[in-house]
Amino acid sequence: MAIVDDIAGLSRILRQSRVIAVVGLSASWFRPSYFAAKYMQAHGYRVVPVNPNCAEVLGATCYPSLAAIPGQVDIVDCFRNAEEMPALAGETVAKGAKVLWMQLGIRSDEAARIANDAGLDVVMDRCVKIEHARIMGGLHWAGVNTGVISAKRIHA
């Protein structure tokens, strides 16, 4: 497929996907991976945690690797270092996922090439939670755009 970096492509991925394997998902509520996964879970996505150091995260069984996950995965969302991405791209291809998604701050041209050559869409340096909220209208979920805080003056 292609490297996806436009609203139409990101929207297509988010609308067509239902199962997200989150590689590097932490069980700590204050970690970005936990917050992003919890948000996606709350918006109807099935989140499959991948972390060899955890048994369960967000009420879901945690798997030690992508290969250990039973069933289909649509998006592999990676919270790992860029150096680990080429190997994860190979695992993503082997799993039969449709999208390799690298989180904010993560770019790997080699991983993108591996995934693209196998026909996968690739997203780099973007947060799945932020893109979902921006494109699908979920910004209010985190307290933004609730109308509680406003720059408008209240007239007595």
Question: Given this model, what pLDDT does residue 134 score?
Answer: 87
User: Looking at the 3D structure of the chain, how many domains does it have?
Assistant: 1
Pairing of strands 56-57, 60-61: antiparallel
Task: Say whether pLDDT at 148 is over 60.
Answer: no
Neighbouring CB atoms inside 10 A of 99's CB total: 23
Any domain includes 49: yes
**70-124, pLDDT tens digit by residue?**
999 999 999 999 999 999 999 999 999 999 999 999 999 999 999 999 999 999 9
Any domain includes 27: yes
Name the pTM for this structure: 0.86
DSSP string, 47-66: EEEE-TT-SEETTEE-BSSS
pLDDT category, 146, cuts 50, 70, 90? very low
What counts of helices (H) and strands (E) characterise the chain?
Answer: 5, 7
Any domain includes 146: no
Task: Say whether pLDDT at 57 is over 60.
Answer: yes
Average pLDDT of every residue of the chain = 90
- How far is residue 42 CA from its own chain's centroid? 13
Buried b (16+ CB within 10 A) or exposed e, 118-155: bebbbbbebbbbbbbbeeeebeebeeeeeeeeeeeeee
Q: Which residues contact 69 (CB under 8 A, 6 or more apart)?
A: 21, 48, 50, 63, 95
Any domain includes 156: no
Any domain includes 134: yes
Any domain includes 36: yes
What's 106's domain CATH number? 3.40.50.720
Task: Say whether pLDDT at 43 is over 50.
Answer: yes
Q: Mean pLDDT over residues 3-30, rounded?
A: 94
Question: Given this model, what pLDDT does residue 77 score?
Answer: 98
What is the spatial distance between Cα 62 and Cα 78, in angstroms, rounded to a whole number?
Answer: 15
- For 44, the 3-state DSSP assignment is coil
Any domain includes 19: yes
pLDDT category, 147, cuts 50, 70, 90? very low
Note down the domain range covering 80: 7-138
Any domain includes 152: no
